[in-house]
Structure 1
C-alpha cells in the first residue's frame, strides 16, 4: 500500500514539475519526496530531477490499450512496384511543396503512368479519393476497412458479377467494373442493371460514368430507363448525356429553336463557297444569361439540326475565337453529348484555329496519344505555357524537347532576369517535369543548371524525379 501511495504522490507532483519546466522555472522545490536524492546544489538538483522523473514516467506511466482491439489486415501489395528507395525522399518533398490535393493526385497519376506507385509510408489515399489511379483501389478499401466497425466483405480477385457484388469493397468494385466494361461491355452492363439501383446517388453517378468506355447502341435501353426513372437528377443528366453521344438525345423543341436563333449560318468565299456559323451578339445581359441557360440543356445533334446542319458540319463551320463564351458553351455540349469522333474533330478544329485554351476542356475525352499530340502542337505552334500543356496532356505525356518551345524560351529568360526570385516559375518548372519524357527531363535539367539554377533547387524536384525514374509504363 505504501508503494502505491508513493507512486500516486509522485504522479500528482509530476504535473507541477512539468508546468514549472514549461515556464522556465526550477522544478526541484515541487518534488519534495526526492529532496534527499536531489541534493542541495540547485543546478545539480534539476539534472537529477530530470533523470529521476524520466525513469519514473517511463516505468510507471503506461498507455492502457482500448477495451477492444482490432487487428487490421496488412496493407495490400499493389500490382505496380513501389518507387525506388533512393527516390522516396524526393517524392515526399514534392508532396510537401505542393500542398494542394490536386497536386498530389498529379504526382501519383504521373508515377502510375510510368509504372510506379508511392510507398504507403509516404502517401496513402483516403477511402473517398475517387480521383486516385485504379491501381490504388485496394489501398482505398484498406482505408475504408480501417475506418469501419467491421469488415463484412472479403477481399476477392474474382471476376465481378451481380452475385459477388457485395464481396467487393467500393474502390475495388469500381476498378473491377471498369475492367469488365473494357473486356466484356455487355456483362458489365448486365451487372449494373442488377445492382446499380441499390447504391447511393454519388456511387451510381461514378459507376454509370464507366459506360462511356465502349459505349454502343446496346446500352440505349438501359440508359433510357435510368434517364426516365433514376431518383437523382445528376444521374439522370449523365444518362441523358450518354444517350446524346449515341444520337438518342431529347427531341428538338422550343428551347433548341430559341438557342439556334442566337446564331446564323452564312456562306463565305467567291470561288469555293463554304458555310460559317456566326454568333449574333446578345443585346442585353438577360439575353446573355438566357443563351447560357439554353446551352446548358442543349444536345449537339438537336442544336446542329436546328441550324440545318449535321453535328460534324456544325463543328467544321463554327467561327472560333470570335465569341469565347459561345466557344466554351459549344465545347461543353460536345463533351457531354458528342461522339468520340466529334470530340476529336473539335480538338483538331480548335488547334487549327489557335483556340488551344479550349482543348483542356476536351482533354478528358481524348485518348492519351491525342492529348500528348495536341499539347506538343500547342506548345510549339501557339506558345501556350507548360501549365496549360500539362492540363491538356495529362499524366501520360512524354515530350522529348519541351524547352525548345516558346514556353521554354520564356521560362529561361524569366529565370535569368536580374530581379528573379528563388520562388519564381515554380509552377512552370513543376509542369515541365510532368510533361517531359525521361530523356527530355534529363536534357532540360542540363539546360536549366547551365542557365544558373542549382542542382538542388527545389523547383527542379519534379524534373529530377522524372530524370532519375525508369519508365516502365505503357506508351500513350
Structure 2
C-alpha cells in the first residue's frame, strides 16, 4: 500500500509540471499501458481508479451490518415516475415543509419515495406510511402489529409514538392521556411538547387535572404555556392578571351604529415599534377567555365585536383565538375573517389549522377566492387532501389570474427572465394543490402565456400531471 501511495504521488508531481509520467508508474502497469494507443491517458484512468478504490480510509472500529430498510405499506414510485421526481428535487430544491407536502401528495396517489432517490432526515411531519422508516432510523425493532403500551414504549420511535397516541386518542382518550402521563417525566422537553399536542384530539374536561399538573410542575416553559393554552380551550381563565390589564389598555370598546347599536372592540393606534412589539408579545401570552372576561363579554361576543383593519393587531388577536379558543369559537372567527373585504392570508392560515377536515373542505371555495399572493393558506386548508382541487375552482381564483397576468406582462416587456423566484414558488405550490387533470390544463395555460413547456418552474405541475392514482 505504501508503494502505491508513493507511486501515485510521483505521477501527480509529473503531471503538475506538465511532464509525462508513464515511466514513473508501477512496472506491473507499464506492460498493459504500452499496448494502448494513448498510454498516458490510460495511466491517468488507472491512477484515478486506484485513488478511489484502494485508498479508502480504514474504519476506526468494528463494522456492524445495518438492518435492512423495511418495506412501507405503500409501494415506492415506479421507475417511470422516479426520473421526474429526481428532476423535481434537483430543479426546485424544496425546503422541509415543501418536501413533506410532496410526499403527502404522493401518498394520496398511492406511492412513497424510493429510498435511492431521497431518504428523509426527519419523520415527524411526514405521512403515517413512513412510520416504519422512522423506527428503522432510530434503530427500533418491533412487530408490525405491536401496540403502544407502557411496556412497549421503548420499541417505538418518537414519530411512531405520536401517531399511535393520536389513533389511541380517537379510540380511547383516557387511555392515551394516562399512558402519556406515565411517560412525560422521562422525556426531553422537545419530545414532551410534541406528545402534548396529541391532547388537542378529543380534548375534554377529563384532561383538566393532567393539564393543570403540567402547567404548574413541568420543567419546560413551552410545555407549561401549551398546557395553559389547552386549559383555556376548556374555558378556564389562566395567565398573569397584570399582563391582561396591560393588553386591555392597548384596546378600547365603544358602541357604534344609530338604529342598531353594537359594541366594537378596536385596537388603539400605537406610536412606536416598542409598543407594537409589546402588544404582539401580550397576544401570545393571554388567552381568549380571560381577555373576553376583562371586557365583560362572552368569547362569542368578543369575536363579533372585534374591529378588523389593523393587520398587526388582527394577526395577534386571531393568533390568540387559534391558540386558546374552543373549536366552535375558532370556526366563528374564520367566518368573520372570510367576511372581510380584505384580509391577511397569514391571519386566516393560523385559524384554518384548528378546523376539522370537514370544516376546511367546506371553507375551501371561499379560501380560494381570498388567496391571491400564495397558495400557503390553500395548502393549510387542504391538509392531507393535497392534489384534489379541480379545474373549475382554480381557474376562477384570483391567484391563478394574477400569475398568468404576471407571466404575460414579463413576456410583453421582454424581461430577461420570464420566471422569477416568487413566481417559481407559486407554480410549485399550485402543482401541490390541483388534481392531475387540472395540472395538465394549467401547464398548457402557462405555456400559452409564455413559459417554455419544459421550464423547471413547471416541474411540480408536470410531476403532478403524470402521477396518476395507483389502481
Instruction: Find the counterpart in structure 2 of residue 434 from structure 1.
Output: 432
For 1:13 and 1:434, locate their aligned partners in 2 and report how far apart those are by CA, in whole Å: 55
Instruction: Find the counterpart in structure 2 of residue 195 from structure 1.
Output: 183
Instruction: Find the counterpart in structure 2 of residue 148 from structure 1.
Output: none
Residue 249 of structure 1 deviates from its aligned partner by 3.2
Instruction: Find the counterpart in structure 2 of residue 410 from structure 1.
Output: 402
Native 8 Å contact 2:88 2:463 kept in 1:
no
Q: How does 1:19-30 map to 2 (within 5 A)?
A: 19-21=13-15, 25-30=19-24
For 2:450 and 2:117, locate their aligned partners in 1 and report how far apart those are by CA, in whole Å: 31
Match of 2:86 among 79, 89, 92: 92
Instruction: Find the counterpart in structure 2 of residue 4 from structure 1.
Output: none
What is the SS of the residue equivalent to 1:365? Answer: coil
For 2:36 and 2:115, locate their aligned partners in 1 and report how far apart those are by CA, in whole Å: 49
For 1:279 and 1:241, locate their aligned partners in 2 and report how far apart those are by CA, in whole Å: 23
Instruction: Find the counterpart in structure 2 of residue 3 from structure 1.
Output: none
Q: Per the alignment, do residues 110 and 29 of structure 1 end up closer, same or farther by CA in structure 2, a change over 3 Å counting?
A: same
Native 8 Å contact 2:173 2:202 kept in 1:
yes
What is the SS of the residue equivalent to 1:78? Answer: coil
Match of 1:112 among 107, 116, 129: 107
Q: Per the alignment, do residues 19 and 137 of structure 1 end up closer, same or farther by CA in structure 2, a change over 3 Å counting?
A: farther
Residue 252 of structure 1 deviates from its aligned partner by 7.3
Residue 156 of structure 1 deviates from its aligned partner by 4.9
For 2:238 and 2:129, locate their aligned partners in 1 and report how far apart those are by CA, in whole Å: 37
Does 1:140 pair with 2:113? Answer: no
Higher relative contact order (CA 8 A, sep 6+): 2
For 2:53 and 2:151, locate their aligned partners in 1 and report how far apart those are by CA, in whole Å: 55
Native 8 Å contact 1:276 1:319 kept in 2:
yes
Does 1:360 pair with 2:334? Answer: no
Instruction: Find the counterpart in structure 2 of residue 186 from structure 1.
Output: 174
Residue 307 of structure 1 deviates from its aligned partner by 1.0
Does 1:351 pair with 2:330? Answer: no
Q: How does 1:252-401 map to 2 (within 5 A)?
A: 253-283=241-271, 285-321=273-309, 323-353=310-340, 354-357=342-345, 358-380=347-369, 383-397=372-386, 398-401=388-391
Deviations 1:231-284 (A, max 9, x none): 111111111111111112316723323322322222222222222211222345
For 1:457 and 1:253, locate their aligned partners in 2 and report how far apart those are by CA, in whole Å: 57
Does 1:423 pair with 2:419? Answer: yes
Deviations 1:60-117 (A, max 9, x none): 8788677522122221121223223211111222222232333222211222344332
Residue 394 of structure 1 deviates from its aligned partner by 4.2
Residue 226 of structure 1 deviates from its aligned partner by 0.8
Native 8 Å contact 1:38 1:49 kept in 2:
no
Residue 343 of structure 1 deviates from its aligned partner by 1.4
Native 8 Å contact 1:295 1:330 kept in 2:
yes
Q: Per the alignment, do residues 413 and 215 of structure 1 end up closer, same or farther by CA in structure 2, a change over 3 Å counting?
A: same
Native 8 Å contact 1:156 1:167 kept in 2:
no
For 1:403 and 1:317, locate their aligned partners in 2 and report how far apart those are by CA, in whole Å: 35
Native 8 Å contact 1:259 1:295 kept in 2:
yes
Q: Which runs of 5+ in 2 are unaligned?
A: none
Does 1:80 pair with 2:64? Answer: no
For 2:204 and 2:368, locate their aligned partners in 1 and report how far apart those are by CA, in whole Å: 35
Native 8 Å contact 2:22 2:30 kept in 1:
no
- Greater Cα offset, 109-118 or 21-30: 21-30
Deviations 1:280-338 (A, max 9, x none): 223455544443333222110010111111111111111112x2221111111111111
The alignment's TM-score, normalised by the length of structure 2, stands at 0.87
For 1:113 and 1:225, locate their aligned partners in 2 and report how far apart those are by CA, in whole Å: 39
The alignment's TM-score, normalised by the length of structure 1, stands at 0.86
For 2:190 and 2:431, locate their aligned partners in 1 and report how far apart those are by CA, in whole Å: 34
Q: Per the alignment, do residues 17 and 414 of structure 1 end up closer, same or farther by CA in structure 2, a change over 3 Å counting?
A: same
Instruction: Find the counterpart in structure 1 of residue 457 from structure 2.
Output: 459
Q: Per the alignment, do residues 380 and 288 of structure 1 end up closer, same or farther by CA in structure 2, a change over 3 Å counting?
A: closer
What is the SS of the residue equivalent to 1:396? Answer: coil
Q: How does 1:173-252 map to 2 (within 5 A)?
A: 173-250=161-238
The alignment's C-alpha RMSD in Å is 3.2
Q: Per the alignment, do residues 360 and 59 of structure 1 end up closer, same or farther by CA in structure 2, a change over 3 Å counting?
A: closer
Q: Per the alignment, do residues 67 and 352 of structure 1 end up closer, same or farther by CA in structure 2, a change over 3 Å counting?
A: same
* Equivalent pairs, count: 459
- Greater Cα offset, 347-356 or 237-246: 347-356
Residue 340 of structure 1 deviates from its aligned partner by 1.1
Deviations 1:127-158 (A, max 9, x none): x442222321221232222xxxxx6x545532
What is the SS of the residue equivalent to 1:448? Answer: helix
